[in-house]
Amino acid sequence: MTVAAPLASVLFVCVHNAGRSQMAAGFLTHLAGDRVEVRSAGSAPGEEVNPAAVAAMAEVGVDISDQRPKILTTEAVRSSDYVITMGCGDACPYFPGKKYLDWTLEDPAGQGVEAVRPIRDAIKARVEGLVAEIDAEAAAGRDS
């Protein structure tokens, strides 16, 4: 039995890699499983993942408590099919052939779980759309 290669590789980037990008990575891993390779990073990583983000994700059954902020590397961008930025400014390197998306989302830093919930829900909706797009592109590739 051979294991199929992931349909796509996705990198989520925000400044601290402690809130938005971690929630997005958690949702994508939860929704797509091993069909998609998931990474997240920050241009200036924080010390820990935002506890309010961890709590908000736990409310919807997604555990990101074991995640740690990671530094954005050129290699992470180079090896990703999709690079999704969430307010990382000009810190993201650009490589031709990658699909870049910029998701404008409020920064949950310093906010309580009540304020993080709507950000979480917006991220989930965007990740669901991304999964549908990746699946559709994979299906179109199989049909051609």
Contacts of 67 (CB under 8 A, 6+ apart): 22, 25, 26, 40, 49
Residue 88 known to be catalytic: yes
* Of 11, 23, 88, 119, catalytic: 88
Contacts of 11 (CB under 8 A, 6+ apart): 39, 40, 41, 76, 77, 80, 82, 83, 84
Q: Does residue 114 sit in helix, strand or coil?
A: helix
* Of 7, 8, 11, 14, catalytic: 14
Here the tokens at position 20 are 């938005």
* Of 36, 53, 92, 119, catalytic: 92
Backbone CA torsion sign across 5, 21, 66, 112: negative
* Residues involved in catalysis: 14, 88, 92
